[in-house]
Structure 1
Amino acid sequence: MKVELGLTSFADNSDIYMEDGYQPAISNAQRIRNIIEEIEVADQYGLDVYGLGEHHRPDYAVSDPVTVLAAAARNTKHIKLSSAVTVLSSDDPVRVYERFSTLDAVSNGRAEIMVGRGSFIESFPLFGYDLKNYEQLFNEKIDLLMRINQKEIVNWEGHMRSSIHNLGVYPRTERGSLPITIATGGTPESSLKAGALGLPITYAIIGGDPKRFRRNIDMYRSIAESYGHNVDELPIATHSWGYIAETDEQAKREFFPSVKANHDILAKERGWPMYDENSFEREAGPNGALYVGSPETVAQKIIETIEALGITRFMLHTPVGSMPHENTINTIKLLAERVKPIVDKYFENK
C-alpha cells in the first residue's frame, strides 16, 4: 500500500512569535522566497507533494500559487506541485487550465489542481463576483474546467460565464490531462459533488476527531459508485495543521503561540471564541486534529488516521501563523527523514 506524505502551506505572513517577544513580519516577497526554499527542501528530502494556497489579504503572502510553484519546479525533480486551493468560483477555468498546463510543462508532468469554493471570500468582491452565486459559480466552473481538461476543442454553454463555441484551449499537457481534486472542509455537498463527478477529494481536517470524517468518505464513495465510478481508483487525501520537533514538549511550546495568533485573527473576523491552551492540548491529543509532537508521536497519529479513514495521501499543513523560517525547514526535514520511514514501513505490507 503506497501512502503519499507531503505538505501544504498558506504562506502565512504576520508577526512572528519568538520566546523573547514578537518579531515584525518579513516582507511578502521574502516569504515567497522562503516558500520556494521549503518546496526545494521537501523535494530534496523525498516528500511526495507540496500544496500551496491562494489568498488575497495582507497576512498571507501568495495570491498566485502557480507562479511560486513554477519557480520551485526548476530546482525540484520529483515532488508533485499542487494548489491548496485554487478558488475556482472566483477564477476563470480557461486561465486555470492554461496556468496549470504551463506549470505541468515546466515541471515535467508534476502539476496538480486542487479546487475549492473558498473558505476565504476576499477574492469574490475583488474579481467582481456576487457571493449570492457562491454555489452556482462553483458548479458551473468545475463543469467547464473538466470539459477543458478532457477536450482540446471546447463547446460549452454557461450562465455565470460566457459560453464557448468550438474554441481550443492551450497549451495541452503531454500526459493528456491534469489531475483535478476537490478540496473541502467537510460539507456534505462537496463530498456528494466530488463523488458524482468521479474526482479525487481532499478533506481539510483542522478541528475535532479526524475519525469523524469517515462518514463523509463513506458518503463520497457511495455516491461515486452509484454514478459508475471505480472507487478503488479515486485517491482520498487529508491535510491537517501540524509541527514536528525533537520532543512533544518542544513541539507544543514552539507551535502553540503561532496557532493561537492565527486562530485569534480569524476568530475576530468570524465570531469564534479565542484560542486557549486547553483547546490546543485537546486538539494535540490522540483524538484531535493537530499533528504536533516528536517524529514518533506524529508518525503514529498519521498511521492511525490513514487506517481509520482509508486515505492514500496525508499532508501536514505547516506553519500555522508565522514562525521562524528555520523552524519550518526543520519540520520538513523531520517529516521526511523520521516520520515518513515509520509510516512507509508500517504500510509496506498492507
Structure 2
Amino acid sequence: MEIGISTFLETTPDPVTGIIMSHAERLRNAVEEIVLADQVGLDVYGIGEHHRADYAGTSPAVVLAAAAAMTKRIRLTSAVTVLSSDDPVRVYQAFSTLDGISNGRAEIMAGRGSFIESFPLFGHSLEDYDELFEENLELLLAIRASEKVTWRGGHRPAIHNLGVYPRSVQSPLPVWIASGGNAQSAVRAGMLGLPIAFAIIGGMPESFAPLVALYKEAAAKAGHDPSKLPIATHSHGFIGETTQQAADLFFPSTQAQMNVIGRERGWGQSYNRATYDTARSLRGALYVGDPEYVAEKILLLRKNLGVTRFFLHVNVGTMPHREVLRAIELLGTKVAPIVRKELAR
C-alpha cells in the first residue's frame, strides 16, 4: 500500500496571527516538503490545481518539477488537474516533461474540479462542464497512446496527424480519474481501466464501498482485471506526538478554511469543534492523531475499501511550516512502517 501527501498549497490567513503567507513562500515550502517526504520514505506527493487567492497551486507540474531533481524515489502527481478547463496537449506535455526530469515518476490525476474558478478564467462555460471533461479525457488518452494524433471534438480545434512531444519515460504515462463520490465517474474509470482516487472528506469512508464495487464491476464488464487497478483515497488529516496535540494543532486552520468554503457553497451550519471531533473518530473521515491511531484508521480503510494508495491532505488552511514538516516526518517514519508491517503479515 502506497502512502503519501496531498496539498492545495494553501495561503489562507493564519488563524492565530492573521498573517497571510505569500504565494512565493508557500511554493518554496512545498518543494521542501516534497524533499522531506522522499527522504522519510513516503511513496507519493500530490498537488491540487486551483486558481484563487487562497491557494498557490495553479501549476502543479512546475512545482513538482522543481522538487524532481532533488528527489530519488517519490512519485509526483497532480491532485487534481482540472482537465475540463485545460488543454490536454499542454497537460500531457507538462507531465511528460516532469516525467523526464524525474526519470519516470510523474502521474496525472484528472478531474472535473469541485472549484470552478478556472472555467471563466480560461473562457469556458459551466454549461459544458461534463462534455468538456469527456472530450479532454478522450484526447489526453489518445495523446499518451500515440506519438502522432488525429482527433476531432466539439470544443477544441481538431488535430490531424500531429506529434506531441516530449514523450513520457513511462509508457503509458499514468492517468488517474479523481472523484468526489460520483457514481458516473466510478463507472467511467472502470470502463476505461484507469486507476481511481476518491476524495473522502466527510461522513464515513466505509460508505464509499458501493462506489468501489461499482468501479470494479464496470472494469470487469469492460474486460479489465479489477484486481490490478489501483484505488486511492484522499482525506484531510494531521499527525502529532499525541492525539490530543494533533487535534488541537489541526483544528484552528481546518475550522477557518472549512467555514470559508461552507459560506461559498451555502452549507449553512458552521464548522465547530464538535463536528471536528466526530470526524476524527475511528470511523470518521479525518485522519488526525498520533502515529498509532492514524495507522489504525488507514488499516481500517484498507479493510473496508481495499485501497492501494492513501493520501493524507496536509494542511487544511495555513499551519506553521515546521508543524507540517513534522507531520510529514511522522507519516513516513512512524505511520507508514506500522501499516506496511501489518499488511505484510
* TM value normalised by structure 2: 0.99
Task: Find the counterpart in structure 1 of residue 2 from structure 2.
Answer: 4
Q: Distance in 1 between matches of 2:165 and 2:199?
A: 31
Quote the Cα distance in structure 2 between the aligned partners of 1:190 and 1:62.
24
Separation in structure 2 between the aligned mates of residue 235 and residue 176 of structure 1, nearest angstrom? 17
- Deviation, 1:175, is 2.8
Match of 2:291 among 286, 292, 295: 295
Is the CA contact (8 Å cut-off) linking 2:13 and 2:19 kept in structure 1? yes
Instruction: State the distance in 2 between where 1:26 and 1:221 align.
Output: 42
1:280 aligns with 2:276: yes
CA displacement, residues 245-279 of structure 1 (integer Å, 9 cap, x when unaligned): 01111111111111100101101110012101111
Partner of 2:139: 144
Counterparts of 1:146-165 in structure 2 under 5 Å? 146-165=141-160
- 1:108 alignment partner, SS class: coil
2:34 matches 1:39: yes
Deviation at 1:173, TM superposition (A): 1.6
1:160-193 superposed Cα distances (whole Å, 9 cap, x missing partner): 1111111110111233220000001001111011
Partner amino acid for 1:277?
R
Distance 1:12 1:174 in 2: 31
> 1:313 and 2:309 equivalent?
yes
- Give yes or no for contact 2:144–2:172 (8 Å, CA) kept in 1: yes
**Structure 2 residue matching 1:308: 3-state secondary structure:** helix
Is the 2:149–2:159 Cα contact (8 Å) retained in structure 1? yes
Which residue number corresponds to residue 48 of structure 2?
A: 53
Secondary structure in 2 aligned to 1:81? strand
Deviation of 1:156 after TM superposition, in Å, equals: 1.1
The 10-residue stretch of structure 1 (81-90 or 149-158) with the greater mean CA deviation from structure 2: 149-158
2:14 counterpart residue number? 16
Task: Tell me what 2:119 maps to.
Answer: 124
Q: Deviations over 1:197-246 (max 9, x none)?
A: 11100000000000000000000000011011111111000010000001
Distance 1:39 1:175 in 2: 21
Superposition deviation, residue 327 in structure 1: 0.5
Residues of 1 paired with 2:110 and 2:30: CA distance?
20
The equivalent residue for 2:241 is 246
State the SS of the aligned residue for 1:143: helix
For residue 330 of structure 1, the aligned residue among 306, 326, 329 is 326
Task: Provide the secondary structure at the position in 2 that maps to 1:243.
Answer: strand
Amino acid at match of 1:238: T
SS, match of residue 50 in structure 1: strand
Which amino acid letter does the alignment assign opposite residue 311 of structure 2? M
**1:108 aligned residue (103, 109, 112):** 103
Amino acid at match of 2:2: E
Q: Deviations over 1:72-130 (max 9, x none)?
A: 00100000000000000000000000000000000010000001000000000000000
- Give the Cα–Cα distance (whole angstroms) in 1 for the partners of residues 170 and 276 of structure 2: 44
Tell me the distance in 1 between the aligned counterparts of 2:68 and 2:266: 39
**SS at 1:77 equivalent:** coil
The share of aligned pairs that are identical, in percent, is 53
Structure 1 gap ranges (5+)? none
How high is the TM-score relative to the length of structure 1? 0.97
Q: Which amino acid aligns with 2:9?
A: A
Between the two proteins, the alignment pairs up a number of residues equal to 344
- The structural deviation recorded for 1:8 is 0.2
2:185 alignment counterpart: 190
8 Å contact 2:254–2:316 — kept in the other structure?
yes
The CA RMSD over aligned residues, in Å, is 0.7
**What secondary structure, in the 3-state scheme, does the structure 2 residue paired with 1:22 have?**
coil
Distance in structure 1 (CA, Å) of the matches to 2:59 and 2:182:
25
What does residue 219 of structure 2 align with? 224
Q: Would the aligned equivalents of 2:99 and 2:170 in 1 still touch at CA under 8 Å?
A: no
Amino acid at match of 1:295: P
Gaps spanning 5+ residues in structure 2: where?
A: none
